[in-house]
Amino acid sequence: MSQLTVVGLYDGSQPRMYIRGENLDRFAAEIDEFTLLVTYNGKLFDLPFLRQELGIPLTHAHIDLRYPLAALGYKGGLKKIERTLGLEREGPVALLDGWCAVLLWQYHRQGEPGALETLLRYNLEDVIHLPALLACVYNTRVRGLPFSLPAVEFLPPPATPFGFNESLIYRVLAETGRGIGVAPQKGERTASPQETSEG
């Protein structure tokens, strides 16, 4: 049975994370601070799931970037599009997917060190690149207009406040059949946000 565990929200300046069993109930109140929601594939997945799980209407104006990006020729999933546009994720976190996120939550519930922080890092990276993707769509579209409009600047994503457990990532990848390369040796340290989000 599917269960809502983590929700990421980014308003262009400050990322917010909502975690089941901690502060997930705050999302319903805080999302009403906004009039526009921007997602990737949110029309089919995120918004219906949030409505069902939290019992909130989410009647905001909504831009699902999957469709305008596809119309511009960008297809193949969020991470592939990010790479095409030069928006790289840091280290092995880039290898994770939705099934890995489910396993990370299970590891967190079992008390595995670094599992929740790694999950939050993965989730937040799904969110913080959306403003740049929105700017890409806007800038491309306005260039085709018969009159001039100013371009929107691509703002770099913020530094993520979460690190990740690299050895746990490779364990999760192996468990899902996505093992790539050689996993770090047991006992390898967990990367900190400062080490992994700069540069």
Q: Where are the domains of the chain?
A: 6-197
Q: How distant, in Å, are the alpha carbons of 53, 54, 55, 65, 191 from that of 71?
A: 31, 32, 32, 10, 38
pLDDT in tens, the chain (199 residues): 578 999 999 998 899 999 999 999 999 999 999 999 999 999 999 999 999 999 999 999 999 999 999 999 999 999 999 999 999 888 899 999 999 999 999 999 999 999 999 999 999 999 999 999 999 999 999 999 999 999 998 778 888 899 999 999 999 999 998 766 444 444 444 443 433 333 3
**Contact residues for 187 (Cβ-Cβ < 8 A; gap 6+):** 167
- In this prediction, residue 153 carries a pLDDT of 87
Question: Tokens representing 171?
Answer: 């364990």
What whole-number distance in Å separates Cα of residue 4 and Cα of residue 119?
Answer: 13
| Reported pTM | 0.86
- In this prediction, residue 179 carries a pLDDT of 67
